[in-house]
Structure 1
C-alpha cells in the first residue's frame, strides 16, 4: 500500500517545480504530504523546492481542529523524521465569507467533461489554487477518494453472512454489534439486511468499492480540468489509482473497515511517517455548517439558476426545486445536500458549456470540392 502511494507521489514530485499536498490533519492528505516531503529529501539539491503542505482554515482562527493536527504532522516531519526539515513547508490558506460554498459558481466554473465535484466549493478551491500558483506550485496532490476506499463502513457484513463457517458467523455477530453501538441502533436490522443481501447474491464489498472508486476517479478528472484551466496546476489523486485501490482491497473487509478501528490499513502503511496524534485521531472536519451559511448567503442567486438549462429540458420542476432550496436554507429536516448539489453542479456545467467559444470544423457545400479526407457536405458548429 505504501509503495503504491509513494510511487504516485514520487511521480508528482519529479516535475522539476514546486509541488504541494493538501494537509488537513487527517490521515489521507497528511500521509501524502509527508510522502512528498520524503520524496524531496533524496532530490532536494536537484529540485530546489520544498514540498508544500497547505492547510485551509477559517480566517481569524489560529488554533484548534484541523490546524492543530496539521501543525503536529509538520512539526513531526521537521524534528522526528531525519532529513525532512528542509523539504516540507507549511502554508496556511485562510478563508472568509467570500469563500463560502455556492459562492461564484456561475463565475468561476469552466467547461469540463462532466459536472465537477468541487463545483459548490469552487470559491474555496480557487482561493487555495491561487495561493499555490502564486508560490510557483505546478502540481497538487490530494487525498480525494481516501474515505471511499479506506473509511469504516459495514458493507462487508453480507460477505460474512454468505460464508457459512462458525468463524465468519461469529465475526458477523461481533461486527454487527459494533456497528450498532456506533450508530446507536438495534443490531437486528443490520444482521437481517446482511443476510438478505447475501441470499440475493449481491456483489461483494470489494466489487462495490471498485465501482465506487471508478466513479470517484472519473469525476475527479473534471476537478483536474478546473485546476489546469484556472491556474495551470496539475491535480494528482493517488487514492483513485488502480494500484492503490487493489493494494487496499487485498485486505479483507473485516480488517480494512472494522467498527471502531479508523483506517487501519493506511495507519499501518504510513507507520513512522505520522505522529501518534494524527494516527490516533478519531474526528473529522465537518463543513456542514459552512454549507448552510453559504446556502443562506447565496440563496437568491441559486434560486435564479433554477429557471435554466435543466428546466428548459424538462429535467427539473423549477417551482419544486426552488421551494426545496428555500426550505433547505431554513434548516428544514429531511433535505440533504445530496439532493441539491448535483442539480446545481449540472446546471452550472451546462451553462459553462454553452458560454465557451464554439468549436468549429470545416466542411464543404455540394458545389465545392471537399478537403482531403473529408466526407462532410456542410459547415457545422458544435
Structure 2
C-alpha cells in the first residue's frame, strides 16, 4: 500500500506523473475551469474534498469532515482568496487548502508544520506544489542534494525556518506561516498566520482548548473507516485523546509498549487509564516486537529493504523503523486504518524556561524570583542564571553565536537554557565540512534572523511543533505504506492556537505538569492519570538495541557514503559505536547519523570500490526510486 500525497500545478500541465507514485484506482484528479489538471492526489488515506463556483475552485486534502456543500457555501460567502482561505482554515481537522480563481493558485499547509508545502519549477517553465518533495523531485528531474544531509546530522534539531532547502536540488520548502501563490509564469508567497496573543487565564483558556481538542478527535471518529487505534502510554497526552475518543463513542483499541527497563511504568499507568476510560488495551512486551535497530541491516551490514519507506527526507527516527512497521501491522490487524498518537503535546503544553528571559525584559526582579525553584531543581548557579537572563541576545545574534561554535565539543556542564534554544552541536565524528555545510545552508533561509514568534518561549513551542512535523513525515509515510494513517490531533491548528492563547505566566515552568491540558481535561478526565508525576523513558532500550546490533551498525559504516561525501570521520564513528555510548546526546547523534546514511544509500547508487582520490559516487538518474516491498 502506498502513502497519500497531492500535487497542484500552475498553468497548463501536460506531463504525466511517475507510475511509481500510486495505483490508478487510488488517484483522484481535479480539473480547473479550462479542463486542465489542477490537483492530482492519492486518496488512499486522506480525503480530497472540493467545490466550485464558476471558475473558482476550493479543495481540502487531509483529515476533515467537511463536505462539498460546506465548501460551496464558503465560496459563496467569501469572494477574495484571503478571507476564503481564512474561513477554510477555521474548519476542524488537519488539511492542506488549495484555491484557484482560474489565474492564480493559492496553496496553504498548517501553521503547526505537520502539513508542509514544497514547491519547484517544472521543466516546462510552470510551477508545481506538493506535500511530497520526493514526488516533486521525480516530476521536475531533481537530483539528491547531499550537502543538506549535514543539516540532518545536527543535534539538537536546528531551528525551523532557517533554510528552505530540501534534500533535492530545486525543491524548496515553504515556511509554515506562508501561503504560496502560483501563476502561469511566476510564484510568490504571503504571510497568512501569526501566533495569537497569550492573554487568556487558565480558567478562560481551558474551555476553549477542550473544545478544540474535542473537535479534533471528533473529526477522526467521524471519518475513520471502521475501527480506530490509539497509543495509551498512561501519560496525559495519550490518555486525553483516548478519553475523548471514548466520549465520541468511537470503536477503538489502545496499545502500550513495555520496555526492558524495570522502572518504566507506562504499562501500569496505561492499565489504570484504560479501566477508567473503559477501552480495550493491548500491552506489547519487550520481546513481542522488534527493538531499537533490530532489522535495520542484515549481518553483512546491507540495508533490509523489506521495510517500506520513501526518500523525501532522512528518517531521523530510524532506530525504530522496523519496530514502527511491526506496530503498524499490529494496528492494521486489529481492524484499524487510523491510529491516534500524542505527538506535539509536549511542545504545546510544556513552556520552556526561556519564558523567564521574556519576563526579564519587563520585570527582572519578578523573573529572578520565579526562576529560583527551577534553578534549584536543575542546579543552575544563581550567578550563571543572572548572566544568561541579562544577556538579552536578539535571535539573529544568537544564531550567529551558534554558527561560530557549532563545531566545538559539547560542554561538560549545562548552562541555563533560557535563550532562543539549546546549543547546537555536530556529532563528535562529524568533519569540518559538515559545519561549513550547515553555515552555508543557514544563509539560504528566507527567515534567517527572524524568529517564529517575538517571545522566546512561544518561538520554542512553534519550533518544536514545526520541526516535529518535518521529522515525523517519514514515520507517517512508513505507517501509511503498512496500511495505517498516523493521526496527530495535538498538531491541528485549532488546538495549537487554543494552547498558545493561554497566558505563559499561568503555565510557566515549575508550577505544575502541563497545567493547560490538565485544566482542560480535569472536569471529567481520568483522575489517576491527571495526577501522574512520572514520564516513561527509553534510554535503556536504546542501549540494549545498540549492543545487540553493534556488529550490524559497524558493518553499515564499513564503506560509508557519509564518509565518501566528507561529512563524517568513519574511524571515529566506528570507534564510538564500539564504545558504550553512554551520554544520551551521543546515542541521539548516532540515530541521526544512521538515518542520514540510510537515506544516502537509498537515494544514491550502491557504492562501488574506488581508488584513492577518486570522486564520490554520482547521483542516480532523476526520478529513480526504490520500490517498497
TM (norm. structure 1) is 0.80
Partner in structure 2 of residue 21 of structure 1: 230
Task: Write the mapping of 1:196-207 to structure 2, written as runs, cut at 5 A.
Answer: 196-197=391-392, 203-204=454-455, 205-207=457-459
Of residues 339, 342, 345 in structure 1, which corresponds to 2:592? 342
Aligned residue for 1:111, secondary structure, equals coil
Q: 1:135 to 1:334 in 2, by over 3 A?
A: closer
Of residues 390, 396, 410 in structure 2, which corresponds to 1:195? 390
CA distance in 1 between counterparts of 2:584 and 2:283 reads 36
Q: 1:335 to 1:55 in 2, by over 3 A?
A: closer
Q: 1:60 to 1:250 in 2, by over 3 A?
A: closer
Q: 1:315 to 1:242 in 2, by over 3 A?
A: same
CA distance in 2 between counterparts of 1:213 and 1:60 reads 28
The answer to whether the 8 A contact 1:59-1:96 is kept is no
The answer to whether the 8 A contact 2:253-2:280 is kept is yes
The answer to whether the 8 A contact 1:55-1:93 is kept is yes
CA distance in 2 between counterparts of 1:354 and 1:236 reads 31
Pairwise CA distance, 1:239: 1.9
CA distance in 2 between counterparts of 1:117 and 1:8 reads 27
Pairwise CA distance, 1:109: 5.5
Pairwise CA distance, 1:319: 1.1
CA distance in 1 between counterparts of 2:470 and 2:622 reads 30
CA distance in 2 between counterparts of 1:273 and 1:20 reads 22
Partner in structure 1 of residue 98 of structure 2: none
Q: CA RMSD in A?
A: 2.7
Of residues 351, 370, 380 in structure 1, which corresponds to 2:601? 351
The answer to whether the 8 A contact 1:20-1:33 is kept is no
The answer to whether the 8 A contact 1:152-1:262 is kept is no
2:315 matched to 1:113? Answer: no
Partner in structure 2 of residue 91 of structure 1: 282
Aligned residue for 2:535, secondary structure, equals coil
Structure holding more helix per residue: 1
- CA deviations 1:249-292 (Å, max 9, x no partner) are 11232322321411001111112343332111111111001111
Pairwise CA distance, 1:191: 2.9
Q: 1:236 to 1:257 in 2, by over 3 A?
A: farther
Aligned residue for 2:533, secondary structure, equals coil
CA distance in 2 between counterparts of 1:143 and 1:309 reads 35
Q: 1:192 to 1:59 in 2, by over 3 A?
A: closer
The answer to whether the 8 A contact 1:161-1:198 is kept is no
Q: 1:24 to 1:112 in 2, by over 3 A?
A: farther
Pairwise CA distance, 1:124: 2.6
Partner in structure 1 of residue 356 of structure 2: 157
- CA deviations 1:1-29 (Å, max 9, x no partner) are 22222222122222231111100000011
Partner in structure 1 of residue 216 of structure 2: 8
CA distance in 1 between counterparts of 2:392 and 2:230 reads 39
Partner in structure 2 of residue 285 of structure 1: 536
- CA deviations 1:159-188 (Å, max 9, x no partner) are 00111xxxx334312321011121133233
The answer to whether the 8 A contact 2:289-2:326 is kept is no
- CA deviations 1:112-137 (Å, max 9, x no partner) are 41123431112332232121111111
TM (norm. structure 2) is 0.50
- CA deviations 1:322-365 (Å, max 9, x no partner) are 112222xx245585223211111111223234589xxxxxxxxx
Count of aligned positions = 335
Of residues 299, 307, 312 in structure 1, which corresponds to 2:550? 299
The answer to whether the 8 A contact 1:73-1:274 is kept is no
Aligned residue for 2:502, secondary structure, equals coil
The answer to whether the 8 A contact 1:149-1:248 is kept is yes
Pairwise CA distance, 1:66: 1.2
Partner in structure 1 of residue 475 of structure 2: 223
Aligned residue for 1:285, secondary structure, equals coil
Q: 1:350 to 1:171 in 2, by over 3 A?
A: same
The answer to whether the 8 A contact 1:111-1:349 is kept is no
Pairwise CA distance, 1:195: 2.1
Partner in structure 1 of residue 330 of structure 2: 131
2:518 matched to 1:267? Answer: yes
The answer to whether the 8 A contact 1:178-1:260 is kept is no
Partner in structure 1 of residue 364 of structure 2: 169
Partner in structure 1 of residue 344 of structure 2: 145
